[in-house]
Amino acid sequence: MNATGGRWEKAAEAYATGEHKAGRELELVVEYAAPSGTERVLDIGTGAGHTALALAPRVADVVLTDPVDAMLAAARRLFQTAGLWNAQFVRANAEQLPFPRASFDIVTTRLAAHHFDDVPRAMGEVARVLRPGGIFIFIDTTAPEDPESAAYQDEVELLRDPTHRHIYSERQWVAFCEGAGLRVEKREVLRKAHDFEPWLERGGEDAATQQRVRSRFLQAPASAVRDLEIVVADGKVRSFTDRKLVLAARR
């Protein structure tokens, strides 16, 4: 995930206060991790820090990594506001984590992997830093099985946010985990509705590019309208709904 600082400085506050701060998938992080209070947690690609914040009161300490200083600053403010001090904030890429082997009991990554430059390498790093018996909680968008709507979803995500890399299918995300030697124990796919304009603005692009995204949604192929449940009213895109994979895998 490349550290395009200017873009993310603009977007950091939107990530801190927007839809990322809540959701059923965030609740499942805590349920799947089932911490006892003694664990050390690593959250990769933390963004504004909401996933780490959900676990922090229930564990010994958390380490938040992100390649973007502005995101780490937003996460630090979030923890300060919550009055939680058992956190460290480390600038790092998912593909090259600066931690020794078997350093963490729980590793998480939520809505970050579609930005990773090299997903298999990042998964290998997860397996490396996770202790034997430790648990990995993964959350990201899944691509539709229909090739046309999958290609369309990648197209509009990339247009809206050039740091986007690729959305994989549920089967592919699972294969990446298993390829790193992780054993998938639980998984669930959730529907998540997005109000269109806040989603678009969070990408940080200029007005002309945002208008191109609006046009592409209005011209979406029927397969994408179906799979993404695109809602249009009075000639404007109101919302769409994608799918989030929540997965727990054991080292």
Domains of the chain: 5-145+161-193+242-250 (3.40.50.150)
User: Per this entry, what is the length of the chain?
Assistant: 251
The mean pLDDT value of the chain amounts to 92
Position 16 scores a pLDDT of 46
Indicate the pTM of the whole model. 0.91
Pairing mode, if any, of strands 236-250 and 130-142?
antiparallel
For the chain, state the CA radius of gyration.
18
Q: pLDDT of 54-102, one tens digit each? A: 999 999 999 999 999 999 999 999 999 999 999 999 999 999 999 999 9
Determine the pLDDT at residue 11: 61
Query: Are β-strands 130-142 and 104-110 bridged in parallel, bridged antiparallel, or unpaired?
Result: parallel
Give 126-185 pLDDT, tens digit per residue: 999 999 999 999 999 999 999 999 999 999 999 999 989 999 999 999 999 999 999 999
